[in-house]
Amino acid sequence: MSSLSEMPELVMENIMWFSDFRSVLTLRQVCRDFRNFIDDLNDSKLPDSKILKMGIISEPDENKIMLDFLESEDSFHRIEYSEYENSRKFQEKTTYLENLNIVDVAIRDLELILKFQKSNLECFSFCFDDFSIQDDSSIHNLPIKLSNMLNVTGRKIKTKKFTVKSHCQFQIMSVLPLAEPEILEFINLFSLDDNMELEIDEIAKTEQWKKAMIFRSDCHLLNLNVEDICHFSSCALKTNSISARDLDFLKKTYISSSNFESSYFELKNFNKNEEISNLWGPEFISGSTRQWYFRLKDSEKKIMRIEIYQDCDIQFDIVKMSEVRNGAIVHDYNEN
| Angstrom distance (rounded) from CA 133 to CA 148 | 24
In tens, the pLDDT along 125-156 reads 999 876 554 456 788 888 888 888 777 778 88
Overall residue count recorded for the chain in this entry: 336
In tens, the pLDDT along 201-218 reads 999 999 999 999 999 999
The DSSP bridge pattern shows strands 330-331 and 289-295 to be parallel
| Angstrom distance (rounded) from CA 9 to CA 203 | 46
Query: Sign of dihedral through CA atoms 294, 214, 50, 23?
Result: negative
Averaged pLDDT for residues 264-285: 91
| Angstrom distance (rounded) from CA 286 to CA 323 | 13
In tens, the pLDDT along 69-93 reads 998 777 888 999 999 999 999 888 8
pTM reported for the whole predicted model: 0.86
Asked if the model's pLDDT at residue 221 lies above 70, the reply is yes
- For residue 12, the model assigns a pLDDT of 64
Enumerate helices (H) and strands (E) in the chain, giving the number of each.
10, 17
- For residue 310, the model assigns a pLDDT of 87
Tell me the CA distances in angstroms from 58 to 36, 64, 94, 128, 165, one per residue in order.
27, 6, 19, 5, 10
Set out the domains of the chain in order of their start, with CATH numbers.
1-47 (1.20.1280), 48-223 (no CATH), 225-336 (no CATH)
